[in-house]
Chains A and B, each alone.
Chain A
Amino acid sequence: MSRATLINTALFLMLPITALVALALDEPFIITLATKVAILALAGVGLNIALGLGGLVSLGHAAFFGIGGYAMGILAHHAQTFTPLMEAPFLLEGTKFMPVIWVVAVIAGALAALAIGALSLRTSGVYFIMITLAFGQMLYYFAISWPAYGGEDGLSIYVRNGFPGLNTLDPIQFFVLCFVILALVLFCTGRLAAAPFGLALSAARQNAERVETVGLSPYRLRLLAFVISGAVTALAGALFADLNRFVSPTMLSWHMSGEIMIFVILGGVGRLFGPVAGAALFILLEHVLGGLSDFWHVYLGLLLLLVVLFARGGMIGLAAGREVAHD
């Protein structure tokens, strides 16, 4: 077993161990933090499909995160107020049933990513960064100015949505649910990266012209990667909104995009478990530094600057000693 695999395994097991220790010590807050790490890591894994595999620097992933959040918020809002979501052309009711919410979130995220990706991928490089950022902001302002679902105030859900056989309001049960989803998505992403699609996508990142000459379309490869990436991030958004039982335009703001990107970078771009390490470190910092000073973002900024300038492989890169190239 290589050092990187060892570190990955340790990182992955760290989350359930933390949660179990917290359960034994009767510290539900720590379990909630571990849940938050699992969900944010999921969002990072989503971004990493576009960023790490596809080399697409998207600064608008908060859009998909927020769409997932609003998918949950809108469905649950209609269910708890007993109002139909839509009456014509056919009746559509809200729901408090998690699997349905997840499917809706994934589809909504994928469709949004298809639309945004189809336009943004016509460009590349710095244009792509600015355009994804701009489309993300567009949805943010739309959510603020659209009064039907709370506008700037957001939507609150009284009771967490249900999953058959589980009491989702119990912190440890909700953690297990989120963790299992994270594990499944990590497994699928790992398979995806090794599959012909993943290999072709990586090749398109490294040398698009060569990929084109063997008859593959880099545009379509990237668009598909962007859609999958958006769908996974939307799923994370639905879970995140359920964790807080609240969704607001903040989930769509570009600071969120930046934070999701920070999880990926702190961990190491293109590494499967990078976002898990990054999200864990981020939440840890938020609580350690946040406890020391109200101005902890200064320290976060300095740390991020140091990582970008001097530790380009991220945390796993530092620990495993070998850098994964990214461009």
Chain B
Amino acid sequence: MSTLLLIEQVLNGLQFGVMLFLMAAGLTLIFGVMGLINLAHGSLYMVGAFAAAAVAGATGSFVLALIASLIAAAAAGAIIELVVIRRLYDRDHLDQVLATFALILIFSEGTRWVFGSFPLFLDIPDALAGPVLLPGGIQYPAYRLLIIAIGLLVAFGLFQLIARTRIGIQIRAGESDREMIAALGVDISKLYTLVFALGAALAGLAGALVGAIQSVQVGMGEPVLILAFVVIVIGGIGSIKGALVGALLVGLTDTLGGVLLPGFFGTFMETSAATAVGSSLASMSIYILMAGVLLFKPTGLYGSA
């Protein structure tokens, strides 16, 4: 395998990783602050993608589409928080799992009802459609580079938000002691809605950005949701830093595993068997990574308690 190809795959892994980070960051924030496991996070990803596809189809503007995905997902998040999720904070995890699973059913079938079963397509804007030349003579799609840049920017912004702003202080305080910050006069239910909407907006943005590479269809959020869970388990629940490290690890493992493992087995097996074993193992690689982390640190790399 040539070095150029390897670098390209590493970039692909990075791109996948930052997308997973956008999903995982919201999930882990919501869990950290509210103690809620939200299976419907994948639906918010889907809502973002569909909103972007619909707006791009109507206006032709990709920037407007991205803004629409943020607004639509944040609004959907705020609405389900106000109507359903808020009743679940005091419940056990089983009830949270079931209620949010019910939300998935409603969102998925509702979207199918409105948009039909056929996938929609969201086009990459012309200016970003071509490849760019990176130092070292690597040709890489400009759009994917943009995704990496946006992902890293959002990660940076999120760290700043949590570390330096008033809201960030409230979020961190809410993670360690909800009763206390409520007693100190912070409107805790408003804070919860805000955190939930923020997480939803990040998921929606991820959906819209990925929607332009893949197709926009019902159920697109579920595989990503489960990968985001793996990311959180590896990184440690409630830790944004853990989500970033976990997401990059999972993104790189998944992408490089798919490329390298069949070749690795090809060195000592016949080609067809090597492809079969390699691709099967590659599909399991991130879960094996997760199991490995669990063996040594059951609370994840950056998890506490």
Binding site for B on A (CB under 8 A): 51, 57, 59, 119, 122-123, 125-127, 129-131, 133-135, 137-138, 141-142, 144-148, 254, 258, 261-262, 265, 269, 295-298, 300-302, 304-305, 308-309, 312, 326-327
Tell me the bound Cα distance from A269 to B93 in angstroms. Answer: 13
With a 10 A CB-CB cut-off, give which of A123, A261, A301 has the most chain B CB atoms: A301
- Whether A261 and B97, one on each chain, are in contact in the complex, defined by CB atoms closer than 8 angstroms, is yes
24 A–B contacts, CB within 8 A, in A order: A122-B294, A123-B294, A123-B299, A125-B93, A126-B93, A127-B233, A129-B97, A130-B233, A131-B294, A134-B229, A137-B226, A144-B283, A145-B282, A145-B283, A254-B222, A296-B109, A297-B109, A298-B109, A300-B102, A300-B105, A301-B109, A302-B106, A309-B99, A312-B95
Q: A134-B233, A297-B106 are in contact. List 18 more A-B contacts (CB 8 A).
A: A51-B94, A119-B291, A122-B295, A123-B294, A125-B93, A130-B229, A131-B294, A137-B226, A138-B283, A138-B284, A144-B283, A146-B276, A147-B276, A261-B98, A269-B94, A298-B113, A301-B103, A305-B102
Nearest CB of B to A266, in Å: 10
- Whether A308 and B276, one on each chain, are in contact in the complex, defined by CB atoms closer than 8 angstroms, is no
**Residue numbers in A under 8 Å from B299 (CB-CB):** 123, 127
Which chain A residue shows the least CB distance to B113? A295
- Whether A137 and B92, one on each chain, are in contact in the complex, defined by CB atoms closer than 8 angstroms, is no
Nearest CB of B to A177, in Å: 32
- Whether A304 and B101, one on each chain, are in contact in the complex, defined by CB atoms closer than 8 angstroms, is yes
**Residue numbers in B under 8 Å from A135 (CB-CB):** 287, 291
User: Contacts A127-B237, A137-B226, A298-B110 known; A308 to B294 CB distance under 8 Å?
Assistant: no
- Whether A130 and B93, one on each chain, are in contact in the complex, defined by CB atoms closer than 8 angstroms, is no
B254-305 contacts to A, CB under 8 A, are 276, 279-280, 282-284, 287, 290-291, 294-295, 298-300
**Residue numbers in A under 8 Å from B232 (CB-CB):** 130
Tell me the bound Cα distance from A141 to B282 in angstroms. Answer: 10
Tell me the bound Cα distance from A127 to B279 in angstroms. Answer: 27
Which chain A residue shows the least CB distance to B112? A295
**Residue numbers in A under 8 Å from B226 (CB-CB):** 133-134, 137, 254
B184-236 contacts to A, CB under 8 A, are 222, 226, 229-230, 232-233
- Whether B94 and A57, one on each chain, are in contact in the complex, defined by CB atoms closer than 8 angstroms, is yes
User: Contacts A145-B280, A146-B276, A312-B95 known; A301 to B106 CB distance under 8 Å?
Assistant: yes
User: Contacts A134-B229, A141-B284, A145-B280 known; A304 to B294 CB distance under 8 Å?
Assistant: no
- Whether A305 and B237, one on each chain, are in contact in the complex, defined by CB atoms closer than 8 angstroms, is no
Tell me the bound Cα distance from A64 to B280 in angstroms. Answer: 19
- Whether B37 and A134, one on each chain, are in contact in the complex, defined by CB atoms closer than 8 angstroms, is no
- Whether A126 and B287, one on each chain, are in contact in the complex, defined by CB atoms closer than 8 angstroms, is no
User: Does B31 make an interface contact (CB < 8 A)?
Assistant: yes
User: Does B56 make an interface contact (CB < 8 A)?
Assistant: no
Tell me the bound Cα distance from A299 to B84 in angstroms. Answer: 16
**Residue numbers in B under 8 Å from A130 (CB-CB):** 37, 229-230, 232-233
